[in-house]
Each structure stands twice: as structure tokens, then as C-alpha cells.
Amino acid sequence: EIARGLHELFVARLGPTAETEGVVAAKHLKAKIKDALEEVPNIDDDTIIRRYLNLIQASLRTNHFVPDLKEKGQSLAIKLDSQTVDGLPAPRPWREIFVYGSEVEGVHLRFGPVARGGLRWSDRAQDYRTEVLGLVKAQQVKNAVIVPVGAKGGFYPKKLPMGAGRDAIFEAGASAYKNYVSSLLSITDNIGLDGVIPPAGVIRRDQDDPY
């Protein structure tokens, strides 16, 4: 029942009907989930469920409901307000995007509306976010003045050919990189001649953010 409620809350916040019915539905679902939590006997289970609830409430955008996502070969992307996510280690990003798919996983951490920094090909399947956060800390130490603030991203290719040569590994890594970047861009505003252009099919729980 709680798992169903969490899914329904995610849909209410970011799904196709979020702009018309989402606010009322989300408020009702949050209350329903919190009531159901009173019946959870195990403290560990309670903590895990509350973290999921917190993550859903911190989610600002996703490409999950974009109709032609799979046809484009893109991975799932969810944009988070990192300042409101419980339990994150310091330094906390201003925003971050989590990417997950069969070909690639990754994150992009951004410390302000306008930020600059590179992307890293990671070989750390379990803790690539920790690696990227460490790079951000090093960036802050090396560059005391970053105009205006820093950003870092990291992606982990999941389908590198075992025992293959350098060229084959590079090709698979490059494909994962393209998937990662296109997934980031799928929930990112663009700028045209007439101003900001929101991504098609994406509900935005934040303001214009044409990074």
C-alpha cells in the first residue's frame, strides 16, 4: 500500500496531469502515506520509506513521462533540489540530476544557477556520486575563485566489453557518454530567440533554469 502510494505521489507531482490535478492529489497522498507509516513496525523500514518520500518531494523534473523516451534511447533522468534531500554529505549542491539506464548511470552536481566544471568517466559503480563530490571539493580548493560557482558530473558506463581492445572500450564509453549527456539535456531548458524553451513533455516544479 505504501509503495503504491509513493508511486502515485511521484506521478501526481511530475506526471502528465500534475499541472491540473497534481497539487491536490499530492497533498492527499502525502497525508495517506504518513498515516500508513504509523503501522510500520520496523525502524529501518520506516527510515527507508521516509527517505523515498523525501526524495520524491525533492524531485523537480523527470523525463520518465516523455512519450518517446525509449525510442530515443535515453536513460531516466530526475532533477533534485539537493538542499531539501535528507542525509546528503556536505557540500550540498544547489541542484543535481540523477541518470539511470541500462547503458549508463551518472550524476551532475551544480552549485548555482550558473556554474562551470567538467564531466568524468567513472569506473566506480557503487559510489560514483562520492567520487564526483570529492572532485567538487578539490575544485573548490584549487580554484578559490570560480566564476560564478562550480559544477561536476560523472557517468559510469555499464556495458563496456570485457576483454576487448582499447578502441572497443572507448566506443562503448563514448556511447554511454552521449546517452548520459542527452539524458541531462532532456530535462534542461533551452534558450531561443523568444526566450526560455522548456523541454517538451516535462513538468517543471522549479523556475526557468536554462543551464
Residue 34 lies in a domain: yes
Residue 208 lies in a domain: no
Query: CB count, 10 Å around CB of 129?
Result: 20
* pLDDT for the residue numbered 143: 64
Residue 26 lies in a domain: yes
Higher model confidence: residue 27 or residue 122? 122
**Is 134's pLDDT higher than 70?**
yes
Counting the structural domains of the chain, the total is: 2
**Is 196's pLDDT higher than 90?**
yes
pLDDT band at 144 (very low <50, low <70, confident <90, very high): low
Half-sphere CA count of 37, side-chain side, radius 13 A = 19
| AA identity, residue 193 | L
Residue of 152, 158, 159, 178 marked active site: 152
Pick from 180, 160, 179, 163: nearest CA to 171: 160
Residue 195 lies in a domain: no
- Structural domain that includes position 158: 75-185
The CATH number of the domain holding residue 178 is 3.40.50
Is-catalytic flag, 142?
Answer: no
* Domain final position from 30, 62, 94: 62
Cα distance between residue 15 and residue 57, in whole Å = 13
**Is 150's pLDDT higher than 90?**
no
State mean pLDDT over 7-28: 88
**Is 84's pLDDT higher than 90?**
yes
* pLDDT for the residue numbered 146: 58
Shared domain check, 79 and 57: no
Cα distance between residue 79 and residue 102, in whole Å = 19
Cα distance between residue 65 and residue 78, in whole Å = 11
User: SS3 for 8?
Assistant: helix
State mean pLDDT over 113-118: 89
Residue 143 lies in a domain: yes
Shared domain check, 91 and 140: yes
Residue 206 lies in a domain: no
Q: Where are the alpha helices (DSSP H) in 80-149?
A: 128-142
Residue 209 lies in a domain: no
Cα distance between residue 209 and residue 190, in whole Å = 8
Shared domain check, 97 and 40: no
* pLDDT for the residue numbered 115: 87
Shared domain check, 82 and 58: no
* pLDDT for the residue numbered 70: 72
State mean pLDDT over 181-191: 96
* pLDDT for the residue numbered 69: 79
What does pTM read for this prediction?
A: 0.92
